[in-house]
Amino acid sequence: MEPDWWLELESTYCERIAQRKELYAQYGKKIVDALPGSEGACRELMEMVIQFLTRRYPNQFTYDSNEGTFENRILGTVTQTRRTNPLIVLLENVPEDFLITQGDEKTGLYSLRAGVSCSAVGWNLGTKIGKNLSEIHVPVPDYKERMEFSMDRFFRKMACEKPIQRGSWGLEKGQPLFLQPDTPEWAEREDPDAQRQMDINDVYLRVDWQTLRRLPVSSAIVFNFKALFTPVVQLREEPYVPKLLLKVLREGKKELMEYKGTRLVEHVVEPKLEQWVAEQEDKGWVPKSWEERTLNEDPFFPGWHSCFARVSMDAH
């Protein structure tokens, strides 16, 4: 991870902050919670985030160290950081989720001790807090067999100066930020009639952009992430990408694809991907003999500059 890009603000900032505050008001500890012993790490994280924001976005954020006041000029708010729960400061000012893990002195295993989590589909903070990494990742295919040992070792040895980042993707109907199994919206995902009525314009590529870093004072490891949504129809203009996605949907490991939930939208997405593959080949964007593989422009695609510029202008 490039540390200067740890936290990024986007055009959805105000909308997302309002959504996070509403979720917390409705769900409480399913969104924000902390276990005893995590207080120091929570405050260290808040101070680190404030320091980053005021340096990275000096016109939008300021901090008075004498008074302990954090000013958010985008929202027009001033927060008394010394009298406010650090996790609430993060919830109300940063459109990212933060999960704080700490190591057990006896076992060396890391467990989730505190967090702010508004971007959860199928789980919530209340179902994960207090659990160690292997317990948290029970639903993830192959985690125990292929990743448990290496992840525990990685957490123990992770250095402060070597933060990392990754993206986790899936396909969703609409833009569900926080979706729980006991809600009508979740039931609709399993409703055959609702699936038959789904339109390609209803489907989005969701990418959870994630970073992982160790805090220098408490030695806690912080996992932060945010959900980004892109209409699947935009892939029509991205050379090679429809063919790649089609291959993954059809040949990806069954358990993994079920975990991602792609089966809920595959019947709508796959025919369109086939159409877009043919279009791109007819236009000469993609050779008809091309075998799916990692792109030379990875993680981008040919012509992404003009596509990105057009999308940015549309957003403004």
155 and 290 both lie in a single domain: no
Report if residue 97 sits inside a domain: yes
Mean pLDDT by 10 residues, the chain (316 residues): 89 93 95 96 97 96 95 97 96 96 88 94 91 83 76 87 91 88 80 79 92 95 92 95 94 84 87 97 95 88 81 53
208, β-bridge pairs: 168, 227
- The Cα 31–Cα 20 span in angstroms is 9
Q: What is the model's pLDDT at position 154?
A: 84
144 and 249 both lie in a single domain: no
222 and 254 both lie in a single domain: no
132 and 273 both lie in a single domain: no
The count of structural domains within the chain is: 2
Q: What is the model's pLDDT at position 43?
A: 97
136 and 84 both lie in a single domain: yes
Domain end, chosen from 193, 226, 259, is at: 226
Asked if residue 272 lies in contact with residue 171, where contact means CB atoms within 8 angstroms, the answer is no
Of 296, 311, 235, the closest CA to residue 270 belongs to 235
20 and 113 both lie in a single domain: yes
Contacts of 277 (CB under 8 A, 6+ apart): 242, 243, 246, 286
Q: What is the model's pLDDT at position 215?
A: 96
Residue range of the domain that includes 137: 3-165+209-226
- The Cα 36–Cα 28 span in angstroms is 17
Report if residue 73 sits inside a domain: yes
The runs of H, that is alpha helices, within the chain are: 13-27, 39-56, 86-93, 125-128, 133-136, 148-157, 184-189, 192-196, 241-251, 254-260, 266-282, 304-315
220 and 268 both lie in a single domain: no
Q: What is the model's pLDDT at position 314?
A: 55
For 218, half-sphere exposure in the C-beta direction (CA atoms, 13 angstrom radius) is 23
Q: What is the model's pLDDT at position 85?
A: 97
- The Cα 221–Cα 45 span in angstroms is 10
129 and 258 both lie in a single domain: no
257 and 305 both lie in a single domain: yes
Report if residue 182 sits inside a domain: no
Asked if residue 151 lies in contact with residue 133, where contact means CB atoms within 8 angstroms, the answer is yes
